[in-house]
Structure 1
Amino acid sequence: MFSLRGSFIRIIGNKKVKSELKKEEVKRILVPNGRIGDMVCETPFLKALHKEFPKAEIDVYLDDVVAPLFKNCSYVNVILNKNKYKIIKKVKILKMLNLLYEAWTRRKKYDLYFIFTNEMRALSVLSLKILSPKYVISVYRREKFGIKKDELTIYDRYIKKAQSSHMRDIYLSGIEAITDEIIKDRKYEICLGNLENKYNNYFDKNKVNIIFNYLGGNFKKNLSYLELKESCSKLLEIKENIVVHIMTLPNKYEELLKQIESWNEKRIMICPETKDILDAAALIKYSDILASVDTGVVHAASAFNIPVISIFPNNENSIKYFSPMSDLSYIIKCEDKHYIKNFDKNLMCENIKDILKQKEKNLYEKHN
């Protein structure tokens, strides 16, 4: 069946001759941007990309909230997004025009470009046409408007199926499409720099120090103060030596502090006020367990293999793409598809008990 949109996508999404990737000619690479969780999941890909193209510049455009993650990463060039007007993100036509403008400002600057989203959208194909990188590696497109998943030749190479549906493995499949080899090093990497030992002596090593994060990427993933109090109080019932440290954002610090003081519980305290996500990651590194709603700090904990309990809305795709990757990882799924609320706190406590038993077992095996 004829589709006007499909015809337009075919016109702009095809070129006569596919480009040939010549590694020695790759001088500058553009990689996908994203929020904190996306970018932590992307770190094994960035590391493998640098290994494959050691002389190439690797650029990523990030917001100032995410940028500190790569402050100490020598092989990634962070370019701050200049757009600070929130209205552009809220008004659809402005968002579309901004996407095309950004593509124009970066036009023909890149030798290699990766795409990991599979939408068959005219705007996305048009922006890629404007960007005009020499070589594009992409996942298969979602079949739409009568266009097959691998029909468009603007994409020079399509990525084979990833090892799993997790975003980490999807990213790594982009490198595997070049090397035709499975990448073995799949660990997250956060370079702390001079923050490496900042919180080494912050936690009492005779206690079980649990960081609890109640704030997500949007209000739908935030826990209320009432549910936060119930959750923390429940954790204290497990063992007498458990201390719960609640993590919050700098602009919520004073408000949370007043709440915690009103609870009058010495084993529930507020985490120190952290400057940015890198500072928060440095703190998480020295905790014993992280319990958190689904958000970026979950992946920061996985970078240091801190045991994680992650609370998700009832969204299988979100769990599939962004489940925690620590050796000891647990997922609690809420009943609601969009909101994180009324989660199973008894299950959370059982998960904590399992983690403590496993840690004791590991410690015993290490000394015997």
Structure 2
Amino acid sequence: MRKKLGYLIGKIFLDRKNKKTPKGKKVLINDCQKIGNYIFKTPLIKGLGEAGYEVYILGSKYTLEMARENPYIKDVIIDNSYRKKSTDIFRNIKTGFKYRNKFDYYIEMVGSIYLREIILMKLLNPRMIIGMKRKFGKILKMIDVVINPQKHIRENGIEVLKYFNIKEPNLNYDIHLNRDHKYSKLIKRKPLVLYNGTASTKSRSIEENVEKRLIEKLRKISWIDFRKIEREKSILDLCGLISQSDLLLTVDTGTSHIGSGFNIPIIIDRCDEQVYPKSSIVLEKDFNDENIDKYVEDILRSLYEIAI
């Protein structure tokens, strides 16, 4: 009885019987509230923008500053659904009603089965929904074009571009520093090494005693300028500092993806394949490793062999 009732509700609420053909080029991309999730989608955003599409994103106060510098983004719709809490559903409902029937395409890049995203899709009522196949192989009938999840989140966006016949997109992350920032005139006399051990979750952050040992080791390397990343007033200031660095030690968080945007060599504590940094040099090492300082020196010597 419950299964039949659930099926009936789903049929009434989720199925779109009168699908409409997109007439314009207004695109809304979801899941750009976190720094990493936004950066993953910058190749998709650039590909659509260069092809003449009018791109909007669902962002947050954390990604607003970066997105406003992106010339391929028409506007940022703020709903601040950052922590993925159950109360986000009310923000999604508000956004859905406010922008109902405004978009030709809605790109839903969330692969988890969240009721709030489903409701948002329904309320927005775009002409076409392009979405991911959900966990456990679930496919929502209200999604018009289903994209199979790829090995890395960045490649999900590339698959979407293929649907639009944009076959050779630029795969690089796209971070724009179009104005002066705090570190614009930074003068370096030594290789700059940055460290960040804090993520949005405790499980991905470095324990205090491990961090203390690591910092002590790195500060003993006399020929580098070592800095622990502190909270910046501006996200673009943080991007500016990272862009000036020669090596970044970080946990799996937004800093690792910003580093990838500038192709900075990265040593990362641990990371899964779906969100692995895309710099040309990436080394995955336990930050509790006794030889962590040796890895730092080896990478820098290989890059600056003549200067050292």
1:119-268 equivalence runs, <5 A: 119-143=112-136, 149-150=138-139, 152-160=140-148, 162=150, 165-179=151-165, 181=167, 183-195=168-180, 198-204=183-189, 207-237=190-220, 239-249=221-231
2:282 counterpart of 1:325: no
- How many residue pairs end up in the alignment? 305
TM-score, normalization: structure 1?
Answer: 0.73
- Of the three residues 64, 69, 74, the one matched with 2:61 is 64
Contact 1:62-1:78 within 8 A present in 2 as well: no
Q: Is 2:237 the counterpart of 1:279?
A: yes
RMSD of the TM alignment (CA)? 2.9
| Larger gyration radius, structure 1 or structure 2 | 1
Q: Which runs of 5+ in 1 are unaligned?
A: 250-273, 313-317, 334-342
Structure 1 residues 138 and 89: CA distance shift in structure 2, 3 A: closer
The AA in structure 2 aligned to 1:244 is: F
CA–CA distance in structure 2, aligned partners of residues 288 and 180 of structure 1: 34
Shift of 1:220: 4.1
AA in 2 matched with 1:79: V
Q: Distance in 2 between matches of 1:142 and 1:168?
A: 18
Q: Which residue of 1 aligns with 2:10?
A: 9
Q: Residue 130 of structure 1: SS of its match in structure 2?
A: helix
Distance 2:148 2:201 in 1: 33
Counterpart-to-counterpart distance in 1, 2:276 and 2:205? 18
How far is 1:49 from its partner?
1.1
Q: Partner of 1:64: helix, strand, or coil?
A: coil
Paired residues of 2:158 and 2:169 also in contact (CA < 8 A): no
The reply to whether residue 41 of structure 1 matches residue 43 of structure 2 is no
> Sequence identity of aligned pairs in percent?
22
- 1:50 is the counterpart of 2:49: yes
Q: Distance in 2 between matches of 1:240 and 1:357?
A: 13
Q: 2:24 aligns with which of 14, 26, 46?
A: 26
Note if 1:355 corresponds to 2:299: yes
Provide the TM-score with structure 2 as the length reference. Answer: 0.86
- CA displacement at 1:51 relative to structure 2: 1.7
1:41 Cα offset (Å):
1.4
Structure 1 pair 73/160, CA: closer, same or farther in 2 (3 Å)?
same
1:97 corresponds to which residue? 90
SS of the aligned residue for 1:102 comes to helix
Distance 1:309 1:282 in 2: 19
